[in-house]
Structure 1
Amino acid sequence: MTRSNLHITLSNGDKLQCVADSSSAPEQGYIVEHLLLPLLSFSDAKKELALITEHCTMDEQRTNAEYRYLIDLKNEHIEFYEEHYNQSKNTFKRGINLTGRYISYLKKLETETELFTKRKFRDVSNKELVKRINGLPDFKWDDEGVELHRRSLLSNGAFIYKMQGNTLIILKDEKPQ
C-alpha cells in the first residue's frame, strides 16, 4: 500500500488537504483512473469534493506517506513528488519531482482512437485544431475533439480550452519548456 498526502485546489479556488490511503502511485492506476481523471473532468467543486471524500481521509496528512500530489483543479494541473517527514521538526517537505511518472502513465492509457488522431493531427497546432473544430458542423468533429481532449490532458494544465456557447475557445496554450 502506498499512501500519499494530497494538497488540492478545487475548481472554485477552495484549498484542502487529505490522504489517499491506498494504491496512490500512478503506475498502480487506481489514483489516476478513479480519482485524478474524474476530478479533472468535473469543473464543479461540489462533485469534486464528493469524489475526494469518497476516496480520501479528509483534513489529515500522514507521516508515513511516500508521495505528495499537488492537484490544482482550477488550472487543471497536477504535480507529483516524493514526500519527506522530519520527525524532529514535525514538518513535511516536498522531495524529488516525479510528475513524469504521472504523465507516462497517462500516455499508456491512450486508446486506439487517440493514437489514430495523434497521428492524423500531428502537424496541426492547438490553435489550428480549435479553428478547424469551430468551422465544422455540430457533432461532426469527433476525431478533432478526441485529439483536443488528449492534448489538454497530456499538457497537464499548459493547454486549456472550454466551450462557450457553440464555440470552443482557448483559455491557455503554453508551449512545453
Structure 2
Amino acid sequence: MTRSNLYITLSNGEKLICVADSSSTPEQGYIVENLIIPLLSFSNAEHELALLNEHCTMNDQRINADYRYEIDLPKQTVAFYDELYFFKTGVFRKGENLTRRYIAYLEKIQNQTVKDMFKGYSNQALIQKANSLPDFKWDDEGTELRQRSLLSNGAFIYTIRGNSLIILKDN
C-alpha cells in the first residue's frame, strides 16, 4: 500500500495536514474517486472535514509516505509530488512534480460519450446550453462541466446559484 501526506486548504481557508489511509496513487483510483473528486465538489468546510476524517489520519504525517498531494479547495487545484523526508533535519519536502499522472487518470475515467456530445462547445456555450434547459435537466452537460473543471486543475471553475450555473473562472 502506498501512503501519501495530504496538505489541504479547506474551502473556508483553513489549512490542515493528514495522511491518506488507503492506496493513494492516482492510477489505483481510490484516492481520486473516493476522496479528491468529492472534496472538490463540496464547497463546504464541514462536509470536507467529515470526508477527510473518514479517509485519513488527521494532523499527522508519515515519514514513509511515498507521495504528497497539495489540494487547494478554494482554488480547485490539485498537485501531486514525490514526498521526501530528510531524517537528519526531520523535514518533509516535495520532490518531482507528478501531477501529470493525476491528470492522466482523470482523463482516463472521463465519460467518452458525453465528451463527444459537447466536443465543439466552449465552456461558456456549455453553461448557456445547461441554463437554457428546464430546471436541473442538464445531467450530461453537468457531467461534462464537472470533468472540464477537474481536468483544468483550477483554470475553469463554475458554481450553481439558484437554478443557474455561473462561471467563476475560465482561463
* TM-score, scaled relative to structure 1: 0.90
Counting only pairs closer than 5 Å after superposition, residues 16-55 of structure 1 correspond to structure 2 as 16-55=16-55
Q: Structure 1: where are the runs of 5+ without partners? A: none
Counting only pairs closer than 5 Å after superposition, residues 24-173 of structure 1 correspond to structure 2 as 24-110=24-110, 114-173=111-170
Distance 1:53 1:8 in 2: 13
Distance 2:6 2:100 in 1: 17
Q: Which deviates more from structure 2 when the two are superposed, residues 96-105 or residues 115-124?
A: 115-124
Contact 1:69–1:79 under 8 Å retained in 2: yes
* Alignment: residue pair count: 171
Moved over 6 A (4+): none
The offset of 1:151, in angstroms, is 0.9
Which residue identity is paired with 2:34? H
The offset of 1:87, in angstroms, is 1.1
Identity of aligned residues (%): 63
Q: Which deviates more from structure 2 when the two are superposed, residues 98-107 or residues 127-136?
A: 127-136
Distance 2:68 2:42 in 1: 22
Which residue identity is paired with 1:125? S
The offset of 1:21, in angstroms, is 3.3
The offset of 1:141, in angstroms, is 2.8
Which residue identity is paired with 1:143? D
Q: Structure 2: where are the runs of 5+ without partners? A: none
The offset of 1:128, in angstroms, is 1.3
The offset of 1:75, in angstroms, is 1.6
Contact 2:22–2:55 under 8 Å retained in 1: no
Contact 1:82–1:96 under 8 Å retained in 2: yes
